[in-house]
Chain A
Amino acid sequence: MIYFDNAATSWPKPPEVKEAMVRFMEEIGANPGRSGHLLSIEAARILYEARETLSKLFNIKDSSRIVFTLNATESINLALKGLLRPGDHIITSSIEHNSVMRPLRDLEKKGVELSVVPCSPKGELDSRDIKKKIQSRTRMIVLNHASNVTGTLLPVGEVGRMARKHSLLLLVDAAQTAGAYPIDMERDEIDLLAFTGHKSLYGPQGTGGLVIGERVNEKEMIPLKHGGTGSRSEFEEQPDFLPDRFESGTPNAVGIAGLLAGVRFVLKQGVESIRRHESHLIEKLIEGFKDIPQITLYGTAEMKDRIATLSFNIKNLSPSEVASLVEEEFGILCRPGLHCAPSAHRTIGTFPKGTVRFSLSTFTSDGEVKRSIEAVRHLLHQKD
């Protein structure tokens, strides 16, 4: 079997992720931040270490500014709904995932004005097109760091500098890049970073977070949830300090134990070296496909501008037919269709059928890429 659906969730995970979760269940298990007993402190230590380790990965000075969530979707909702008010204007790109588009369409109904800047058919964004949309009421720009459909990277650093110049906030959806591509909150001038734990950070599902940069006033940001935090229980009002303000309710501590192990794994390998490996493989895959006349490839062909996720289509076959054929005959697991990103597919001209998507990970081997190229060639041969 060849698992090529890492953009949805990475698999396999490093063995230490499972080990950390088992250790948490067997030896710790308590509720973090709710008591002073030994096991509660140990559980809180896991969360603390996870924040510190993520701070190293993203270059964050103050780890209290990392808020844990269930996934990138929750993080994006928290940032958008927490900060935008009726009358505010926000700019996004046409290549976004529904986890950005849907909350924005909802906010639009509530009086937030939205501008969607078109990307090229390869999924490239020209930051000058963002600049043209800035107006007096613009408050924020939200972009994915790389598209889950095209794999094309967006110029977040460039947009970040522009956002600072105009006193706007930049929210980056790093669901596809955190762990697979270098991210530096300071260098890229990112104000809000939404990440998910279960993709290139190699943690379990149900983990993620939002990094709230120093330019964001957390006291003015409305939580999605209010409730118990283990702190300030004498008051019925929500705490105004981080991270507690946005972390009501018992956290997914066992999941975060796994996430901590995943992030440590990424740091040990090194993001640059993970990136080199994945770039090498995706280049091989693109080379293997590009001379086949029946195949259309999407996204940029520039390796430096893309991640290891490739969308393609085969002439006269629907994406779901291709996916079921490669699974049945060659054991390749991938994802066909719209990938929760209808706007991205409109941008590249593949709506409503979508594309077939092969997405790799640090565990993908040269042999798997080679076999998958052979499999697709074989399939075309049979169809002829």
Chain B
Amino acid sequence: MVYGVILFPSTYFALRAEKKSKEKGLSVRLIPVPRHLSSDCGVCLRIFWEQRETIESLLKEEGVRMEGVHPME
């Protein structure tokens, strides 16, 4: 399985992203931001890389602010 992570400007949006994704039955998880990336609030959303487009458009619709989507190493 290839994972990716979505970064957010604040923890509020990370939590909102987790909730909205889970409500849609998507498998996601809040994890600490991987070392090679940097995001200040410290937490990001781990997703299945192949679902990134679905999740991104869902979150956009739900007014979640994002700071980038990255594949996990």
Interface of A toward B, CB cutoff 8 Å: 32-37, 40-41, 44-45, 47-48, 51-52, 62-64, 229-234, 239, 241, 243-244
Nearest Cβ on chain A to B62's Cβ, whole angstroms: 9
Q: Are A48 and B15 in contact (CB under 8 A)?
A: yes
Contact of B30 among A41, A229, A230 (CB under 8 A): A41
**In the bound complex, what is the Cα–Cα distance between A233 and B9 (angstroms)?**
10
Other than the given A33-B11, A44-B43, A243-B12, 16 more pairs (CB < 8 A) read A32-B11, A35-B43, A36-B30, A36-B31, A36-B42, A37-B42, A40-B42, A41-B11, A44-B14, A63-B16, A64-B16, A230-B10, A230-B42, A231-B10, A234-B40, A244-B9
- Asked if B33 lies at the interface with its beta carbon under 8 angstroms from chain A, I say yes
List residues of chain B with CB within 8 A of the CB of A34.
Answer: 41-42
List residues of chain B with CB within 8 A of the CB of A32.
Answer: 11
Residue pairs across A and B with CB atoms within 8 Å: the count is 70
- Asked if B63 lies at the interface with its beta carbon under 8 angstroms from chain A, I say yes
Among residues of A, the one whose C-beta sits closest to the C-beta of B9 is A231
Q: Are A40 and B43 in contact (CB under 8 A)?
A: yes
**In the bound complex, what is the Cα–Cα distance between A356 and B18 (angstroms)?**
50
List 11 interface pairs A-B (beta carbons < 8 Å), by A numbering: A36-B31, A40-B42, A45-B15, A47-B12, A64-B63, A230-B41, A231-B9, A231-B40, A232-B40, A243-B12, A244-B12
List residues of chain A with CB within 8 A of the CB of B10.
Answer: 33, 229-232, 239, 241, 244
Q: Are B9 and A241 in contact (CB under 8 A)?
A: yes
Q: Mark B1-33, 1 if CB is under 8 A from A, else 0.
A: 000000001111111100100000000001111
**In the bound complex, what is the Cα–Cα distance between A286 and B11 (angstroms)?**
49
- Asked if B55 lies at the interface with its beta carbon under 8 angstroms from chain A, I say no
Q: Are B63 and A62 in contact (CB under 8 A)?
A: yes
Report B32-70 residues with CB < 8 Å from chain A CB. Answer: 32-33, 40-44, 63, 65
Among residues of A, the one whose C-beta sits closest to the C-beta of B10 is A231
Nearest Cβ on chain B to A32's Cβ, whole angstroms: 7
Q: Are A231 and B16 in contact (CB under 8 A)?
A: no
Nearest Cβ on chain A to B38's Cβ, whole angstroms: 8
Q: Are A41 and B43 in contact (CB under 8 A)?
A: yes
Which of A45, A48, A241, A243: most chain B Cβ within 10 A?
Answer: A48
List residues of chain A with CB within 8 A of the CB of B65.
Answer: 241
**In the bound complex, what is the Cα–Cα distance between A186 and B32 (angstroms)?**
37
Closest 9 CB pairs of A and B: A36-B32, A36-B42, A33-B11, A231-B10, A48-B15, A36-B43, A35-B42, A233-B40, A44-B11
List residues of chain A with CB within 8 A of the CB of B44.
Answer: 36
**In the bound complex, what is the Cα–Cα distance between A45 and B43 (angstroms)?**
12
Nearest Cβ on chain B to A106's Cβ, whole angstroms: 31
**In the bound complex, what is the Cα–Cα distance between A348 and B43 (angstroms)?**
54
Contact of A48 among B12, B32, B33, B63 (CB under 8 A): B12
**In the bound complex, what is the Cα–Cα distance between A52 and B12 (angstroms)?**
11
Contact of B15 among A44, A234, A244 (CB under 8 A): A44
List residues of chain B with CB within 8 A of the CB of A41.
Answer: 11, 30, 43
Among residues of B, the one whose C-beta sits closest to the C-beta of A38 is B32
